[in-house]
Structure 1
Amino acid sequence: MKHITPRRNALWLAIALALCLISAIGASLVQTAGGHVAVKDLRWETSSGETLSALLFKPDTATADDKAPAIVVSHGWWNNREMQDANYVELARRGYVVVSIDMYGHGNSEPLANADIPVNGTGMYDAVTLVADLPYVDTDRIGVTGHSNGARAANYSVVADNEAPTPLISSVLLVDNEAFYADADGAYTNIYGGRDVGLVADQYDEFFFRSYDENGVALTAPRDFVGTPNAQSFLNFGADPATAGETREAGQFYTESVDGTDARRILYTPAQTHPWGPFSKQTTSDVIAYFDATLGAPEAIDPAAQVWQWKEFFNALGLVGFGIFLVAFARALLVTRAFAGLRRNELPEATPQTRTGLVWFWASMVVSALISGVTYVALSQNEAIGSLAFNSVPSLFPQGAVFFIALWAAINGGAALLIMAVSWFAIGRKSGIDLRAGGMLPGWRRFFQAILLGLVVVVAAFGIVAVVDYFFTTDFRIWVLAVKWFTPDKIPLALLVLPFFLLYFFANSLAVNVFNRFTLGGREWINTAVLALFNALAPIVLVVVQYTTFFASGELVPGFGGIYSIWLFPVIVILAVAAVVSRKLYRATGNPYLGGFIMAATVSLVSVTNTLTVTG
C-alpha cells in the first residue's frame, strides 16, 4: 500500500507549523489593530481576595491627558475571556479601553465554591474597580457588558455598584440574559437608576425571554418578547406596564429623567440563537452602536465595519494546523530510535468487504449511532446526573459539564466494545480477522511505546499553544471549539476525566481500524469518511431535531434542555476528526492505541480548559 514518505510527511509538518505561525501573527495583528492597541495578560488578587484573569486592551490614543471610556466585557457560563473577541477587537480599535475577564471559576481565574461565584459580579465588578484606577480611563464613562451569564455578572455588578460609596458604572448592555425587572416582592422596579441600559434578547434564545403563567407554563416564545410585561417594564424604566400608558418598540432608544439624569433604554431582538451571540455580526454591531451612543467612541467607525471575523479566520487556521501537527509530528518521530519499533512498513491493503460483512458493518453503524443518541438524551433527563453536571451537589468532579460528556463517552466506548465482541464471535473469526495482526493485541511493549509517543506528541502540540500564547496572546479556536493555553491546575483535572475518554477513543480507534477498515467504492478514504460521519451522526441528528423544532414552534424538544444540544457543537467536530486522526496514525503504525491516546489526551485538556470549575 502507499505510505507517506518521510519527505512528504516533513512537508505536512512544515505546513502545520506554518499555519500555527500565520494564525498567531494574523490574529495578533487584528486584535492589536495593526499595533495600535497594546494587549496585556493580567492576573491579580482582587479586593475579593481571589485571583482574577483578564485581557487588557489599551489603544495608543488612551493617555493620561486624553482619557478614554472603558468597557469590561464577559463571556458566558462554561466559556472563557477569548469568547468576547468580537467585542474587544471592535471596541478597542474604536479607542475604548477594554478588559475581557475570565469569570471566577473559568479560564485562568481562581475557582470558587458554587455559593461564592457571584462575588463582586462574578469578578466583573473587581475588573471595574481596576479600570477605574487606570490613569488613562475616564471614570465618568465606564460600561459593562456580557453574554449569557456574563450579562448576569453585569447585573450583579450593578448591585455592587449601587452599594459602593462612589458608583462607577454609567452604561450597561445585557446580552442574552434577563434584566432585573422586579424586586423581591414581585413589584416592577428599576435597579439601574440613571444608568443607560440596553438588552439584547434573541428571538430564538434557548433559555430566556419567555413569559409564564402562575403555574410556570410558557405563554410566549422569545421571538414575542418585546410585547411581554417584562420587556415593556424594562423600556419604561421599571414602571408597571399596566399603567405605563405607552407600548414601546425594539430597536429604539427611549429617554427619561431618573434622579436628575437623562437615562436611556433600548431593546435589540436579533433573529438568532443564544450561543450565536458572541459570534454574530448583528449583535457585535448592536454592541458598538450602543456604546457609541452611551459612552461615545473616541474614534467613530461605522458599527457595520467589522474586522473581528479575520481574527476568527486566523484562529481557525491555527486550529487546523494544530490538528495536522498531531498526525505529522507523530509520524515524524517514527524515524527516531525511541519509536522506530512502532513503524509499520507494510500494512495489509484495505480490501472490499463481503456482502455479509457489509450488512454487519451498516447494522453496527446504525446501532452505535442509536445507542449514542439514546444514551445522551437519557443522561440529560437523569436528575442525579444533572445535579452532577451543574455542580449543584458535592462531587469528585469539580467540572460537571466535562464529567457529563466524559461519562457519555465512556458509556459509548463500552457499547462499542460490546458490539465489536458480538461482531467478532458472529462473523469476525470466520472472515479471517486477525486481532493480533490488526494491532488489537500489539503486546505490552508496543502498547506502552504508543502511549509514550502519544504523550510526547500532545506535550509538543500544547507547547506550540504555550508559545503562541506567550508571544502573541492568541490561541487556536473556531466559535465554541478552542485549544488554549492553561494554568497548571488544569492538569490534574484532565487526568481525572482521562480514563473516561481513553475508554471511548481506544474503543473507537479499534472499531475504525481493526474491525471496520476496508474499501468502499474501491477507496479506503470513502470508508474513513463514512466512519467519521457515523462517529458524529447522533450529535448531528440531535442538534438538527432540536433546532428544527425550535425554529418551527418557538420551543425546544420537550425534556431535552437547550444546554445539552449546545454542548454537542464542538463534539460533532471532535468525533468526526477522531476517525480521521486514528486512521492516519494506524496506517503509519498498525497500532490503534496511538491515535486513541492522542485524541483522549487532547480532548481531556481542551475540555477542562474551556469550562467552569467549582470547588466544594
Structure 2
Amino acid sequence: MRSALLRRNGFWLVVALVLALVSALGASLVQTNAGSVTVKDLKWETASGRMMNALLFTPNGATADEPAPAIVVSHGWWNNREMQAANYVELARRGYVVMSIDMYGHGNSDPLPADELAVGGTGMYDAVLLLADLPYVDRDRIGVSGHSNGARAANFSIPLDDASGDPLIASVLLVDNDPVYTDADGAYANVYGARDVGLIQAQYDEFFFRSYSPEGVPLTAPRDYLGTPNAQSFLHFGAAPEDVADEVREQGTVYTESIDGTEAMRVIYSLPQTHPWTTISSTAVGHLVDFFEESLGAPQPMDAGNQLWQLKEFFTALGLIAFGILLVTVPRALLETRAFRALAVPAAPAAALSGRIPAIWFWGGLVVSVVISGWSYILLSQTPAVLGITFNVVPSIVPQGSIFFIGVWAAINGLAALVLMAGAYVAFAKKSGMDLRAVGVLPGWRSFLHGIGLALTTVVLVYAVVFVLDFLFKTDFRLWVIGVKWFSVDKIGLALFVLPLFLIYFVANSVAINAFNRFTIAGREWVNTAILAIANSLAPVVLVVAQYTVFAISGELIPGFGGIFSIWLFPVIVILAVTAIISRKLYRATNNPYIAGFLNAAIVALISVSNSLVITY
C-alpha cells in the first residue's frame, strides 16, 4: 500500500515538473515570437536615483540602421510588469520595442515614497528616458500606455516631458483612468499638446469616469461617460464643452486637429466591461494595436484581431496548476527522505458524518463561518482606522497596506474558527471520545517543529522551480490576477511582516478542516473536502456576485462597498479553495494539520507581497 502511494505521488510530481517546463517553454515561445524577439530583464538606477525593474522586448528588425518605434507599458496599482503581458506580446510581434515596467513601489523596483508619488512619472518617464538612449529606438516615435494607475503614471509623465526642453513622448494611450481635462486654474484645456492621445474606457469601471457635483456627489455613471463634458472636451482637444455643444463626438472615431503645425489625434474606445477585465480583453488589446499603428506606425502591421497573447496566458496558467500540484507532491516526496520520514504518519480513515449533534455542528459551523467571513470583510472595508493604513493615508509601520488589510481579515476569521472549534470540543467532541493527540491537534513539540521544517523546505524547493524557470525563460506562473513570480530578497522581509496574520488563519483553518470537520459524506471523503473548499470561498463569491449584479443593473457599486474590495477577492476565492484541498491531502499523509497550515501561510504571504505595492514614509 505504501509503495502504491509512493508511485502515485512520484507520477504526479513528474507531471507537475513537466507541466512547469512546458509552461515556461510555451510562454517563452509566445513572448519571443518564436525567437524573433529578444527579452531582457533590466534593473538600473534611473534618472530619479532609484532602482527600476523592467522587461525589455526587442524585435530582430529594430537596429541602429533601422530604429523602431518604442512603447513603455505599465500595470496599475497593486500589480506588476507581467500584468501587461497581452500588450507587450502583441506590440513586440508587430515590431515595436516594448518596455514593461514595475512602477516604483511594485514588483522588484524600489519602494515608492509616500511624499513623492509622482516621482519620475512613478517610473514611467524614467523608462522613457532610457528607451530614448537606445540606438535601435526611433526617439521621435516613443509612446506610453498604462492601465489604471499606470495611466496616471502616463499623466504624471506629460508635464515632466514638457519641462525637459526635448519632449520625447509622441503618443499616449490611457487605459481605465481619466485623462487630464483642465489646467492648473481649473479651466478646460489641451494639456497633451500635439501628442496623439487615446483612451480605453470601461463602461463598468469601479473607480473612474464619473462626473461629480461641486459637493462631490456622483452625477453620472461610467457607462454614461461619453456624453459628459469631460469626455467631449477631451475629444475636442480641450475645448470648453459649451463651445462645442453642437457637435457630439462618438467613441471609436479618430478625430484629428492641427496643433502647433502638427496633426494630432484623439480617440475614445468605450467598452462594456469592468476595470480589471481590460487587462485580458482581446477587444482592448485590439484597440491598443490600432491606436499605436495609427499614431506611431507599426514596423510589421497585422490585423488587430491577429492575437496570440491568449496562448501565453494558457501556458502560464498551466504553470499555476503545476505550482499547486508541487505544493502537495514535494512535501509527500520529502516524507520518504531520512530527514522527514518520522512525519509520515497517515491519518486514520475518515468516519461518516452521523448523529444529529455532529451534523448540527458541522453544517451550522460552516454557515456561521461563512457569515463571519463576509460580515468581517464588509466591516473592515468601512473601518476608517484600517482604511487609513490600507490606502497609505496615514503614516504607519505597515509597508503594504493592501496585504495588511487581507491579513487582518484572515486573522479575524482564524480566531473565529478557533472559537468554533473550542465550542464544538466542549459541546460534544470531548464527550464523544475525541482524542486531540490522535487527530494531530496536539502532535507534541518535536513533531510540531519538525512539521514546520517540512513546510519551509517545501517552500524553498517549490519556489526554486519558479526562480530557475524565470532565469531561463523570463516567464512566471499566472492566470489574470493570480500570479506566482520570482521576487527580490526584500520580499522575504515583507512576507515575514504579514506572516503572523496569515498563520492565524491558515493554521486554524487546517485544524478545523482536518481534525474537526473531516468526515465521509455520501460515503466519500472527497465530497467532504469539496464542501469545505467551497465553504472557504463562499463568502467572497457572494460578495463579488452581489457587487457586480448591482453594478450591472444600476451602473454603480453597492453604496459603502468600494470597488477595490471586490477586486481583491478575485484571487482570494481561488486561493482559499485550493489551500483547503492542499491542507486535506497533506493531513492524510502526516496526521499533522500544522504542516499545511504553515505551508499555505508562507506561500500565500510570498505570493501576496510580490504582487502588491510598497510605500515608505
TM-score bucket of the superposed structures, by smaller chain: over 0.9
d(CA) in 2 for partners of 1:304, 1:572: 32
Partner of 1:125: 125
Contact 1:352 1:522 in 2 (8 A): no
1:572-605 superposed Cα distances (whole Å, 9 cap, x missing partner)? 0000011100000000000000111110000000
Partner of 1:154: 154
1:261-309 superposed Cα distances (whole Å, 9 cap, x missing partner)? 1110000101100011111111111100100110111111111110000
The 5 Å alignment of 1:77-156 reads 77-156=77-156
Partner of 2:60: 60
Pairing 1:201–2:201 present: yes
d(CA) in 2 for partners of 1:191, 1:570: 37
SS in 1 for 2:78: coil
Partner of 2:316: 315
d(CA) in 2 for partners of 1:286, 1:114: 34
Letter of the structure 2 residue corresponding to residue 376 of structure 1: Y
* C-alpha displacement of 1:154: 0.5
1:349-377 superposed Cα distances (whole Å, 9 cap, x missing partner)? 43233232112111100000000100000
1:56-100 superposed Cα distances (whole Å, 9 cap, x missing partner)? 000001111111100000000000000000000000010000000
Partner of 1:221: 221
* C-alpha displacement of 1:201: 1.1
Letter of the structure 1 residue corresponding to residue 137 of structure 2: V
Contact 2:30 2:312 in 1 (8 A): yes
Partner of 1:5: 5
d(CA) in 2 for partners of 1:292, 1:298: 9
SS in 2 for 1:202: strand
The 5 Å alignment of 1:328-367 reads 328-345=329-346, 347-367=348-368
**Which blocks of at least 5 consecutive residues in structure 1 are unaligned?**
none
The 5 Å alignment of 1:219-368 reads 219-244=219-244, 245-345=246-346, 347-368=348-369
Contact 2:346 2:588 in 1 (8 A): no
SS in 2 for 1:100: strand
d(CA) in 2 for partners of 1:154, 1:421: 54
SS in 2 for 1:392: coil
d(CA) in 1 for partners of 2:104, 2:188: 30
- % of aligned pairs identical? 62
Contact 1:353 1:518 in 2 (8 A): no
d(CA) in 2 for partners of 1:355, 1:209: 54
Which is worse superposed, 152-161 or 231-240?
152-161
d(CA) in 1 for partners of 2:472, 2:400: 29
d(CA) in 1 for partners of 2:2, 2:306: 49
SS in 2 for 1:435: coil
* C-alpha displacement of 1:2: 9.2
The 5 Å alignment of 1:23-34 reads 23-34=23-34
d(CA) in 2 for partners of 1:478, 1:322: 12
d(CA) in 1 for partners of 2:348, 2:31: 47
* C-alpha displacement of 1:3: 9.1
d(CA) in 2 for partners of 1:346, 1:273: 46
1:21-47 superposed Cα distances (whole Å, 9 cap, x missing partner)? 000000000000000000000000011
The 5 Å alignment of 1:213-612 reads 213-244=213-244, 245-345=246-346, 347-612=348-613
d(CA) in 1 for partners of 2:67, 2:215: 52
Letter of the structure 1 residue corresponding to residue 276 of structure 2: P
Contact 1:190 1:238 in 2 (8 A): yes
Contact 2:79 2:611 in 1 (8 A): yes
1:204-253 superposed Cα distances (whole Å, 9 cap, x missing partner)? 00000011122211111111100000000000000001112411001000
d(CA) in 1 for partners of 2:350, 2:526: 12
Counting matched residue pairs gives 616
The 1:121/1:95 distance shift into structure 2, 3 A limit, reads same
Contact 2:71 2:145 in 1 (8 A): yes
Letter of the structure 2 residue corresponding to residue 311 of structure 1: K
1:335-356 superposed Cα distances (whole Å, 9 cap, x missing partner)? 1111111112462343233232
Letter of the structure 2 residue corresponding to residue 10 of structure 1: G
Contact 1:105 1:117 in 2 (8 A): no
The 1:440/1:346 distance shift into structure 2, 3 A limit, reads closer
Contact 2:146 2:175 in 1 (8 A): yes
* C-alpha displacement of 1:4: 6.0
Partner of 2:175: 175
d(CA) in 2 for partners of 1:243, 1:587: 73
